[in-house]
Amino acid sequence: MIKKILLGLVLLVLAIGAYAYYTVMVAPVVPENGGEQIVVTVPTGSSYEQVMDTLAANGIRPNRLFFDPIAERMAFKREDMRAGRYRLQPGLSTVDLIRELRTAKRQTADVVLNVEREFPNVAAKAARFLEPDSLAFVTLMQDEDYLKSIGYTKETLQTLFLPNTYELYWNSTPQEFMERMIKEHDRFWTPDRTAKAKVQGLTPAEAYTLASIVQSESLAKSEQPRIAGLYLNRLKRGIALQSDPTAVFANRVFGIKRVLFKHIELDHPYNTYVYPGLPPGPIAMPTLSAIEAVLNPEDHDYIYMCAVGDNSGLHNFAKNAAGHARNKAIYVANLKRRGLR
């Protein structure tokens, strides 16, 4: 009788052990999810229980009777949970899941900057892809001591950023983001590009600022070098730029269809109808083609430009006031033809 009881106990222990082994080492706890990875985000400062809640919210609900002691034994259950974004393969077992979460692999994110108007827009875009919120980015970007330490002001900070796609760690801090932007800026402004800017009488920041005006005037890459040459002619001759996009920026009336006298008369440092030379900083993030247009401008004598008015987005150019008057007449005639005037 005793032998039968002992045998029964042994079999029970073996059964429990087999079940435990299967539950921990074999049974999948990460759902199949149609074969797709499950992305789990663990914010900085998360507790163990918060991580478990996050897993549950993503459909991952391991048996806590086995998971918790294994997590503790594998040094995963602790106060300072590793933050990160984890891409979990479907079908992972309890042990495999803990190994994945414990390794703290820093997942990357692609931060896409695409002609953002001002640095708060850059901050908002970075926050879409990275862990810190936009306020954290803006706060750093407005910190005058920090800006001074990296050689910028609030007006010139936008010249740091270039449109591109940047791979960064998901939990990169605002400081790390800025360090990456500085690195990319310095990489772009090679000695050759810096020398080309100098030939035009510009610093890299000034070339960027002028490029932002060129970009705002025309999206057509084909005429950007001509527009750049026109504004450089005006700068060299001491003629006010009189750029409509700068008046739009000064008035903060983005999206208007026509610039009126009240817009160009506004006393504002960014309004190039009122103040000669370049504005204190860029009015947008220019495309790389616009920057290259400023560095490699078309050589001509044009100092006037006027939209064609035929919905092409292109411009006619003139060397004098008489030619400009003719181009304005063409513009008006095209608007009338289209029923817009």
Residue by residue, what is the 3-state secondary structure of 289-321? HHHHHHHCCCCCCCCEEEECCCCCCCEEEECCH
Q: Report the mean per-residue pLDDT for the chain.
A: 88
- Residue 314: inside a domain: no
pTM (2 decimals)?
0.81
Mean predicted confidence (pLDDT) in 121-150: 96
Within-domain flag for 341: no
262 and 284 part of one domain: yes
Same domain, 181 and 221: no
Residue 119: how many CA atoms within 13 Å on its side-chain side?
Answer: 26
24 and 114 both lie in a single domain: no
Assign 272 to helix, strand or coil: coil
Q: Which amino acid is at 31?
A: P
CA angle 309/310/316 to nearest 5° reads 55
Which whole number is the average pLDDT over 188-199?
98
Place of tokens 């000034």: 206
Does 32 fall in a domain? yes
- The verdict on 50 and 77 lying in the same domain is yes
Regarding whether 127 and 174 lie in a shared domain, the answer is yes
Tell me which residue range forms the domain holding 22: 2-103
Same domain, 206 and 296: yes
Per-residue pLDDT of 238-295, as tens digits, reads 999 999 999 999 999 998 888 899 999 999 999 999 999 999 999 999 999 999 999 9
122 within some domain: yes
Highest mean pLDDT among 43-57, 67-81, 110-124: 110-124
User: Quick check: 180 pLDDT over 60?
Assistant: yes
281 token code pair: 């900083």
d(CA 208, CA 9): 80
Bridge pairing between strands 164-169 and 304-307: unpaired
Give the whole-angstrom CA distance, residue 270 versus residue 313. 24
User: pLDDT of 113-125, one tens digit each?
Assistant: 998 999 999 999 9
Q: Picking from 105-119, 151-165, 250-264, which range would have the lowest pLDDT averaged per residue? A: 105-119
Task: For residue 190, give the DSSP letter.
Answer: -
- Last residue of one domain, picked from the residues 267, 284, 300: 300
**Average of pLDDT values for 41-57?**
85
Same domain, 79 and 127: no
DSSP state of 93: B
End residue of a domain, out of 103, 123, 149? 103
Asked whether residue 79 falls in the same domain as residue 115, the answer is no
**Euclidean distance between CA atoms 37 and 90, whole angstroms:** 6
Q: What is the pLDDT of residue 21?
A: 45
| From 45-49, 101-105, 120-124, 207-211, the region with the lowest mean pLDDT | 101-105
The CATH number linked to 19 is 3.30.1490.480
Helices of type H across the chain: 2-21, 48-57, 64-73, 94-103, 119-129, 134-141, 144-149, 174-188, 191-199, 204-217, 224-237, 244-251, 261-264, 288-295, 321-337
Residue 63 — φ and ψ, nearest 5°?
-70, 110
**Is residue 135 predicted with pLDDT exceeding 50?**
yes
> Once rounded to an integer, what is the mean pLDDT over residues 158-186?
96
Q: Is 229 among the domain residues?
A: yes
Residue-level pLDDT at 12: 46
Nearest 5°: phi and psi at 29? -110, -15
User: Is residue 326 in a domain?
Assistant: no
- The more confident residue out of 250 and 21 is 250
What is the rounded distance in angstroms from the CA atom of residue 330 to the CA atom of residue 323?
11
Final residue of a domain: which of 188, 214, 244?
A: 188
From the list 270, 264, 267, 265, the residue with the least C-alpha distance to 250 is: 270
**One domain, residues 125 and 178:** yes
- Residues 204, 151 share a domain: no
Confidence of residue 104 (pLDDT cuts 50, 70, 90): low
Classify the phi-psi angles of 33: left when phi > 0, otherwise alpha if psi is within -120 to 50, otherwise beta: left
List, in sequence order, every residue forming a beta bridge with 120; answer none if it has no partner: none
144 and 97 in a common domain: no
Residue 74 lies in a domain: yes
Question: What total of structural domains would you count in the chain?
Answer: 3
Give CA angle at 88 (49, 93), nearest 5°: 75
Dist. CA 195–CA 70, nearest whole Å = 62
Q: How far apart are CA 106 and CA 93, in angstroms?
A: 21
Q: What pLDDT is stored for residue 5 in this prediction?
A: 55
Residue 206 lies in a domain: yes
pLDDT of 160 over the 50 cut: yes
Are residues 284 and 216 located together in one domain of the fold?
A: yes
